[in-house]
Structure 1
């Protein structure tokens, strides 16, 4: 399926839905590498923790999981040296955060993702790459507006 100028939102959504799989494939290749020590669900939890410490109940909410499931997930990540628990003053509200090893894993994956994306983008013409980045920035802004009412894009606009 190919996008055409002037097509409606429904047609554009169908094109985006079809081609988004390519982006997801590029993204996922780095996460599924043999040297990544955790399965996808645990990695998802680490991505939540990348934004900062959170309570186990907050992690469960972010992941759409039961608190007991999130707690067991944290057990495995803690055993792997990727997160630390901080019981704090109220032992019922345990906070979890990344360890240095957890941060290093996410940094390494981020570098790999950017390298893989750069490899793909380098095969595109400069105008096509700029159009893609501009369109993605617009998409990001539109989705942020619909989500939280703000609409400020954190992506730089290509020149």
Structure 2
């Protein structure tokens, strides 16, 4: 948006992101989703592969004891399994069950259906501009900051 300053652009993006999160969260708040947001975050971490409870806690920014209790609830719901480590019985690895994977797939399908409904209401040029802008945003957001090169020095 030419002429707008960075603060106004950030505010516009914040409003758009809020709308996106509202559409996104409808899938998570469906009656057949048996877990709250924190437990869902844990399932999404486990979707990448089995981890020990300490690593899960670190990913969630939680205490190990809190992550362990969260795992208790997810295990009781049939969404994850605990495996004791081979040599170290204190090492417990957690992984998704087929039911846990199925839940994540249902949520992902619903999110895409909600997003498709909103995108279908947009004009073709607006949709094309949105997708291009989001691709550019994703690229900029995932770019690694440039580290100073220690080997570079100014000539004397």
> Is this a same-fold pair by TM over 0.5?
yes
CA RMSD of aligned residues (A): 1.7
Distance, in Å, in 1 between the alignment partners of 2:95 and 2:130 is 35
Q: CA deviation at 1:48?
A: 1.0
Query: Structure 1's 38 and 17: CA in aligned 2 closer, same or farther, altered over 3 A?
Result: same
* Cα distance, 1:93 vs structure 2: 2.1
1:30 equivalent to 2:31? Answer no
The within-5 A match list for 1:83-122 is 83-89=80-86, 90-122=88-120
1:134 matched to 2:132? The reply is yes
2:8 pairs with 1:11: yes
Q: How far does the alpha carbon of each residue in 1:97-149 deviate from its partner, in whole angstroms, 9 at most, with x for none?
A: 10000000000100000000000000001111111111111111111114799
Distance 1:148 1:73 in 2: 38
1:44: which partner in 2?
41
**What's 1:69 paired with?**
66
Once the two structures are TM-superposed, the CA of residue 5 in structure 1 deviates from its matched residue by 2.6
**CA shift at 1:88, angstroms?**
1.7
- Distance of 1:22 and 1:53 partners within structure 2: 33
Partners of 2:96 and 2:143 in 1: how far apart? Answer: 30
- For the pair shown, the structure with the greater C-alpha radius of gyration is 2
Tell me how far apart the structure 1 counterparts of residues 3 and 12 of structure 2 sit (CA, whole Å). 13
Q: CA deviation at 1:41?
A: 1.2
Q: CA deviation at 1:46?
A: 0.6
Q: Which runs of 5+ in 2 are unaligned?
A: 148-156
**Bigger relative CO (Cα 8 Å, ≥ 6 apart):** 2
TM-score, reference length from structure 2: 0.88
